[in-house]
Amino acid sequence: MDKGTAVLLRKVPPLPPSQELGGSGVLVDVGCGWGPLALTLAAECPSAQVYAVDVNARALELTRANATANGLHNIQVLSEADAFAALGPNSVDVIWSNPPVRVGKMALHAMWEAWRTRLKPEGVAYLVMGRNLGSDPFLAYLNEHGWIGEKIASSKGFRVLQLRRSA
């Protein structure tokens, strides 16, 4: 597991109880890679529907295989386009992500604009980003573009960001 994902898993607050998620909940791992965040979400909240999302076909294959190997049946593994088709506005309770910052600033900004509209007004997103990969300027950008964000933890050169939609 990469260091950023490990930091997020150690520092992210516990998931809300299922009754706070309307009995089940919709949880999303954006940029799932081989699936460590999606697998954790599915295991910790078995009544939730978990979406593992990535643009890389090999990452999606690995996540599917890992979900099957771990007996986790509440995970849907989808491309970003399929996830956007399946998840409409205001449909997501929680997002966890170690976002692909190397895609470039413009692509990263566009990605989070699209996910912001899918997050429920009371929903929350947690991202982990390297300090040296622009986490602080990215957080400032998000706060200027429809998010209320704050750094809630840092460890080993990584920042854990908590994001909520602005009203």
Residue 13 lies in a domain: no
Residue 128 lies in a domain: yes
Look at residue 167 in the predicted model and tell me its pLDDT: 72
Residue 18 lies in a domain: no
Asked whether 15 and 27 are in contact (CB, 8 A), the reply is yes
Residue 20 lies in a domain: no
Assess whether pLDDT exceeds 90 at residue 102.
no
Residue 148 lies in a domain: yes
Number of domains forming the structure of the chain: 1
Q: What is the pLDDT of residues 106-146, one digit of tens each?
A: 888 898 999 999 999 999 999 999 888 888 999 999 999 99
Instruction: Quote the domain boundaries for residue 86.
Output: 3-8+25-165
Contacts of 79 (CB under 8 A, 6+ apart): 53, 54, 55, 57, 60
Residue 89 lies in a domain: yes
Q: What is the pLDDT of residues 17-74, one digit of tens each?
A: 765 666 679 999 999 999 999 999 999 999 999 999 999 999 999 999 999 999 999 9
Residue 101 lies in a domain: yes
CATH code for the domain of 93: 3.40.50.150
Residue 17 lies in a domain: no
